[in-house]
Amino acid sequence: MRMTNRWLAAAWVAAALTQAVRADEGMWLYSNPPREQIRAKYGFELTAEWLDHLMKSSVRFNSGGSGSFVSEDGLVLSNHHVGADALQKLSTEKRNLLKEGFHAKTRAEEVQCVDLELNVLQSIEDVTSKVNAAVPPGATAEEAFKARRRVMAELEKASLEKTGLRSDVVTLYQGGAYHLYRFKKYTDVRLVFAPEQQVAFFGGDPDNFEYPRFNLDVCFFRVYEDGKPAKVPHHLAWSKSGAAPGELTFVSGHPGRTSRLLTVAELEYLRDTQFPYVLEMLKRREVLLTSWSQRSAENGRRAKDELFGYQNSRKARDGGHAGLYDPAVMQAKIDAENTFRARLDGRDEFVEAKDAYRKIAEAQAEMGKIALQARLIETGHGFASDLFGIARKLVRAGDEFVKPNGDRLREYAEAGKESFEMDLFSDKPIHADLEILSLADSLTFMAEKMGAKDPLVQRVLAGKSPRARAAELIEGSRLTDVAERRRLYTGGASAVAASKDPLILLARSIDAEAREVRRRLETLDEVKRQGHAAIAKARFALEGASNYPDATFTLRLSYGVVKGYEEGGKQVPPFTVMSGLYDRAASMEYRPPFDLPKRWMDKKKALDGNVPFNFVATHDIIGGNSGSPVVNKAGEFVGIIFDGNIQSLVLDFAFEERQARSLSVHSAGILESLRKVYGAKALVNELVATGHKH
């Protein structure tokens, strides 16, 4: 991390002491936008109409990431790396869309994605009182969890039946509030345009989380309804000039997870236990897939997207872990927590909040005792296989869907059944050789962690080596056949029980242990949730409700200015330009990953080298914001988030704006590329069509 301990510690103190919003901080709920802060600092008024338009122009990719509508005909813009999952599933050995790119010159050429679901937020309802009222007084933690799960499932089902919209109850403030989010769902999503990955992710892993950058990290899709392009009433107009230095801009996207409201005990657990485990697993998987990819071009194609995911996650968590190991950072957090707890002393109304810290610490310690087993057998780190995941879903579907809706595991609740089935019956390509490789390595990892003599490990391996067992399981399974999945799913528990598929038998054999460790974790998590709810209540009482919750992969609004920063005594400018791409490639002698597609070399002279390409700003973002639109005060599209710099990795735990920056592709750079490199005239015309509807 390239920042001083003293400065970073000060940032933590300021953030943790009061959670008062400083600078351009905040991943804000659309139901509680930072109107006063923006009005006071920038003199700009967030109107209800402006917010509603931006909210309904924003898109969530259920595969992970964000996007936006950029035409009235359902055209969606996101990042290439967000769309990579869809590109990978559409690719074949003879047609590598990730590497070669894709351009549908007419709508008839647009290709339907395999299993992509897009969600657009329509409304938010505070259901905190309903969720809390469902928990009977004096209930044990396990009883409280079940009561809460039951009412959340009922609220979601009732909302779906009433509105027809996807309905999710979202936990906020770690249990301090519950909101019902309603989304319009699109499942007929078609690929329109993607550049070559080499220019979308120019610089590869070495330049990831770095700046300056020169990436065309964009991908266009279109949503369809009834076989025709959907007419969307809200979409973003394309700015004629794009982002300008010092300009106030906004980001509307879906940050995945932050940990800013966690207690010291929880942060210490992340530092000492969770991060080391996760990093070990990520680095192991990265080495495995890198080695396998280098054996043949086809191996590399099959593993490309998954490998990128591991590399990206490893680098992000390395940065976050480094922050937690900084003594100044942790001491600042300890001091801030102690100061807040001192404010609760002697006040009867805050007794529960005062005691919550002890309860959270005790629950976290108990969770630590079973976390390894939970990760390996319930989360599935010991069974890294798409086919095993399918087998587990089939085994549990047979048991869960016969239960009352509120008594099911959350992922089997009625409101999410359509999305569950879409994923289960996806005909995405599943490669047996890659499945065997991944499963064998994860079985080895599980044996190493749990011990070769562990009864469950011995039962899973069945007297064979991890490699031999993985081959036996994958080669003997029929679950690659979607028709077989449907047969087992439709037949329910009896069909699953009668199945001799080795992966079904394996999933059934460990299900009791997996469910039990999950039950224990959920019960302990309820203790923590109740503790955080008490702390949040006290914080609201002392500081007001003008704060934002941690990220939850739901739509948030951030704001900031286009602004460079100082690093190593030098000023880093806010923009890069198109010519910089070629300069960077030449300076690295065009060695991978700094080589350029032939198309880009051929079109070099046609491009205006002074057109802005990428830019940085002070937006508060985190993973999941990838693909988020950046808009100006007029609500016009001026850029698209694709990354943060290395200094931004601390944003998981605390906001800072001295050096931390969001990275975006500039709207002018997108148009310049589409026009002069790809000759995408129809797509450009659709983007720059004047006017938008409110």
CATH of the domain at 564: 2.40.10.120
pLDDT bracket for residue 17 (50, 70, 90): very low
Mean pLDDT to the nearest integer, 173-178: 96
Beta carbons within 10 angstroms of residue 209's beta carbon: 19
pLDDT bracket for residue 8 (50, 70, 90): very low
Q: 365 and 489: one domain? A: yes
Mean pLDDT of the chain: 94
614-646 per-position pLDDT tens digit = 999 999 999 999 999 999 999 999 999 999 999
Q: 537 and 621: one domain? A: no
pLDDT bracket for residue 42 (50, 70, 90): very high
Q: Do residues 558 and 612 touch, judged by C-beta distance below 8 A? A: no
Residue 217 lies in a domain: yes
Q: What is the pLDDT of residue 22?
A: 56
Residue 324 lies in a domain: no
Q: Do residues 68 and 77 touch, judged by C-beta distance below 8 A? A: yes
489-540 per-position pLDDT tens digit = 999 999 999 999 999 999 999 999 999 999 999 999 999 999 999 999 999 9
Reading the block at residue 182, the tokens are 């309603």
Q: 193 and 53: one domain? A: yes
Q: 536 and 558: one domain? A: no
Q: What is the pLDDT of residue 11?
A: 36
Mean pLDDT to the nearest integer, 547-572: 97
How far is Cα 250 from Cα 471, in angstroms, rounded to an integer? 50
Q: What is the pLDDT of residue 546?
A: 73
Q: What is the pLDDT of residue 543?
A: 86
Q: Would you say residue 83 has pLDDT above 90?
A: yes
215-259 per-position pLDDT tens digit = 999 999 999 999 999 999 999 999 999 999 999 999 999 999 999
261-297 per-position pLDDT tens digit = 999 999 999 999 999 999 999 999 999 999 999 999 9
Paired sense of beta strands 612-617 and 575-577, if any: antiparallel
221 closest CA partner among 66, 75, 73: 75
Q: Would you say residue 544 has pLDDT above 90?
A: no
Q: 563 and 517: one domain? A: no
Domain tally for the chain? 2
Q: What is the pLDDT of residue 34?
A: 96
Q: 559 and 504: one domain? A: no
| Residue 206: strand, helix, or coil | helix
Q: Which residues 6+ apart lie within 8 Å of 482 measured at CB?
A: 425, 426, 427
383 closest CA partner among 399, 368, 395, 397: 395
pLDDT bracket for residue 691 (50, 70, 90): low
Cα of 57 vs its chain's centroid, Å: 19
Q: Which residues 6+ apart lie within 8 Å of 120 measured at CB?
A: 56, 58, 59, 60, 69, 183, 184, 185, 186
Residue 561 lies in a domain: yes
Q: How many residues does the chain have?
A: 694
Q: Would you say residue 21 has pLDDT above 90?
A: no
- Helix pair angle (466-476, 502-543), 10° resolution: 100
Q: Do residues 486 and 425 touch, judged by C-beta distance below 8 A? A: yes
Q: What is the pLDDT of residue 1?
A: 32
Q: 356 and 496: one domain? A: yes
pTM listed for this prediction: 0.93
φ/ψ region of 208 (left if φ > 0, alpha if ψ in -120 to 50, else beta) reads: beta
How far is Cα 449 from Cα 447, in angstroms, rounded to an integer? 6
Q: Would you say residue 5 has pLDDT above 60?
A: no
- Helix pair angle (502-543, 482-498), 10° resolution: 100
Mean pLDDT to the nearest integer, 55-59: 98
User: What is the DSSP secondary-structure string of 140-157?
Assistant: -HHHHHHHHHHHHHHHHH
352-392 per-position pLDDT tens digit = 999 999 999 999 999 999 999 999 999 999 999 999 999 99
Residue 224 lies in a domain: yes
3-state SS, 265-328, equals HHHHHHHHHHHHHHHHHHHHHHHHHHHHHCCCHHHHHHHHHHHHHHHHHHHHHHHHHHHHCCHH
Q: What is the pLDDT of residue 13?
A: 36
Q: Do residues 550 and 654 touch, judged by C-beta distance below 8 A? A: no
Final residue of a structural domain among 542, 562, 590 = 542
Residue 328 lies in a domain: no
Residue 278 lies in a domain: no
Q: 249 and 370: one domain? A: no
Residue 181 lies in a domain: no
Residue 277 lies in a domain: no
616 closest CA partner among 657, 677, 569: 657
Final residue of a structural domain among 494, 518, 542 = 542
Q: 639 and 497: one domain? A: no
Q: Would you say residue 4 has pLDDT above 50?
A: no
Reading the block at residue 117, the tokens are 């679901």
Mean pLDDT to the nearest integer, 660-681: 98
Mean pLDDT to the nearest integer, 1-20: 36
Q: Would you say residue 323 has pLDDT above 90?
A: no
Q: Do residues 169 and 156 touch, judged by C-beta distance below 8 A? A: yes
Q: 354 and 242: one domain? A: no
Q: 464 and 367: one domain? A: yes
3-state helix, strand and coil shares in percent for the chain, rounded to the nearest 5? 55, 15, 30
Q: What is the pLDDT of residue 363?
A: 98
Mean pLDDT to the nearest integer, 479-489: 98
pLDDT bracket for residue 6 (50, 70, 90): very low
Domain hosting 16: range is 5-117+187-260+554-688
Q: What is the pLDDT of residue 656?
A: 85
Mean pLDDT to the nearest integer, 40-47: 97
Q: Which residues 6+ apart lie within 8 Å of 60 measured at CB?
A: 66, 67, 118, 119, 120, 121, 183, 254, 553, 555
Q: 514 and 567: one domain? A: no
pLDDT bracket for residue 690 (50, 70, 90): low
| Distances 127 to 133, 151, 152, 154, 328 between C-alpha atoms, Å | 10, 10, 9, 12, 39
- Exposed (0-12), middle (13-18) or buried (19+): which is 228, by Cβ within 10 Å? exposed
Final residue of a structural domain among 506, 522, 542 = 542
Q: What is the pLDDT of residue 334?
A: 94
